[in-house]
Amino acid sequence: MSNQHPKPVIGIIDWAKAPLSEAECLIEREVIGDAAEVKYFLCHSDADFTDAICSADALIVWHNTPVTATGIGRLKNCRVIIRNGVGFDSVDVKAARARGIPVCNVPDYGTEEVADHAIALALALCRQLFPLDVEAKRLRWTIPVEKNLRRLRELTFGIVGLGRIGTATALRAKALGFRVCFFDPYLSSGVDKAIGVERVSTLAELLRCADVLSVHCPLNAETHHLIAAPELALMKPSAFIVNTARGGVIAKAALFAALRNGRLAGAGLDVVEDEPLKTAEEAATPNLIVTCHAAFCSVESKQEMRRSSARIARTAVLGEALYNVVN
């Protein structure tokens, strides 16, 4: 009889409704090598966690698969939960901490893609690409949205949260000629001078001056509905709002109402509260561009993200020091 211990198991949890990986997990297996056995599972939520999942030594969890206190309470051997992406609001980090389970994320894999996507949405709004596309395809040649077409260098680009992605977006907006301002109460002094943008001291000040408002903060108890009806009322009726962060930062009902009654000129959303859109009425909201929580996505970014998650999982099962721990 062999005295060898069985290999640790790293479980990869993908969303059953719309899987983002392949069952073979070739990238993860290449990184993890012989350090552990890799198993792939499809789940709608942690209610679907099987005994095999609950016995795994590490879990890599794709977005849209919530891991609640109940699911965490069922884990037997888990040394780390890795959220395969930047945001970790889908994992109950407090419950994990109470169980002594570190939660890690991958904060830097899609910085370029999300910043590019935010700028793309902003440009589509400022230059009214989608309404003009519809008009041209009706075999017409008028400009019905002329009042919403703007000159970029006359506009203020406001950023909520100047982290990695917020900074990348700020530099892109600055290069396009926008005046760039930001609000971030947790950022140390001098960052504005280092990258050549302006800092404002309150969110209200940013909302009042922004012609384009781009959201780049995490979703937590403090930022949930950070922008709701009172905040939207402070913005210019000619302003546009862009969100490539998390849907719950902006109150969906308040934003859609502002678009319907003309209190805002437009919105570009890669994320929405309680995504995806739920009704035809929501989808018909005027001056709204919506993409499919895809800002992070590119061939290159997904490969980078998966490799980073796999490296963290390998580190955990080998008993080495973890990084990107969020709890």
Catalytic residues: 246, 275, 293
- What stretches of the chain show up as alpha helix (H) in DSSP? 26-32, 51-54, 69-73, 93-98, 111-126, 129-137, 164-175, 191-195, 203-209, 229-232, 252-260, 280-283, 299-317
Q: What are the tokens at 323?
A: 């990084």
Phi then psi for residue 309, to 5 deg, are -60, -40
- Are the CB atoms for 125 and 212 separated by under 8 Å? yes
What distance, in Å, lies between the first and last C-alpha atoms of the chain? 41
What angle do helix axes 111-126 and 129-137 make, rounded to 10 degrees? Answer: 60
Q: Cα separation of 268 and 124, whole Å?
A: 8
- Are the CB atoms for 192 and 167 separated by under 8 Å? no
Q: What are the tokens at 10?
A: 């790293």
